A and B are shown apart, each in its own frame.
Chain A
Amino acid sequence: KNQVEQSPQSLIILEGKNCTLQCNYTVSPFSNLRWYKQDTGRGPVSLTIMTFSENTKSNGRYTATLDADTKQSSLHITASQLSDSASYICVVSDRGSTLGRLYFGRGTQLTVWP
């Protein structure tokens, strides 16, 4: 069964600190992995998208890593800001169909305190 598991479920950090969110998946055949940021009551917004051959990708203070062998990904946030408070969703796409089916994790709820 294709699944995406994220940890931790929730995380509270102080402003300015770094944090790392984890994503493990069993989706096969793998196509790509995306990290989205979803503010409360809004739609997800893409942070990064990584294919099989990519090990790391950065977008400002966000750095995603991918280990396709162990089927793990992480999202590292540097120097957190209050506006980083949101749910971070790991999404894995398969290449087994033309749809490129998306499998969603439940997200990690990040809260940044001043």
Chain B
Amino acid sequence: EADIYQTPRYLVIGTGKKITLECSQTMGHDKMYWYQQDPGMELHLIHYSYGVNSTEKGDLSSESTVSRIRTEHFPLTLESARPSHTSQYLCASSERGRTGDQSTEAFFGQGTRLTVV
């Protein structure tokens, strides 16, 4: 089983609250990702990081923000949660592949199921 952890697993909060979803990995991976997944739908990349102090927005527009102060830690923050943020959030990590060869494995956390009421 992969050494990547997300907390909390489930979260129900009220509209307007600030929340932080935690993601940590102990594999020393440079690359980390946040995905959003609605039931029965594909994963959408919302944020990624190549390494410490490197963060980029993904394909899906998101009102969340991320930080990468330490290699192992990649938290995602919502300043003011809304019902439209209700979804499953998945964190993943992978090694930085060699140039031209990106066959490195991506490991996923268990996910955080967020419900905003």
Chain A residues near B (Cβ < 8 Å) = 4, 31-32, 34, 36, 41-46, 49, 51, 89, 91, 93-95, 98-102, 104-107, 109
Contact = CB atoms under 8 A, between A and B. Distances in A.
Given A98-B50, A100-B97, A107-B42, A43 B90 contact: yes
Interface of B: 2, 6, 31, 33, 40-45, 48, 50, 88, 90, 92, 94, 96-97, 99-111, 113
Nearest to A52: B103
B42 A106 contact: yes
11 contacts: A42-B110, A43-B6, A44-B108, A45-B2, A49-B105, A91-B106, A95-B102, A100-B102, A102-B106, A106-B40, A109-B40
A94 B40 CA distance: 24
A63 to B, nearest CB: 19
Contacts of B43: 44, 89, 102, 104
Nearest to B44: A104
Contact of B41 (A44, A51, A99, A106): A106
A99 B96 CA distance: 8
A28 to B, nearest CB: 14
A104 B94 CA distance: 16
B110 A43 contact: yes
B84 to A, nearest CB: 21
A42 to B, nearest CB: 5
Contacts of A42: 110-111
Given A104-B42, A106-B42, A43 B97 contact: no
B110 A99 contact: no
Contact of A31 (B33, B42, B102, B111): B102
Nearest to B1: A45
A34 B104 CA distance: 10
Contacts of A43: 6, 90, 92, 108-111
Contacts of B92: 43
Given A104-B42, A106-B42, A41 B113 contact: yes
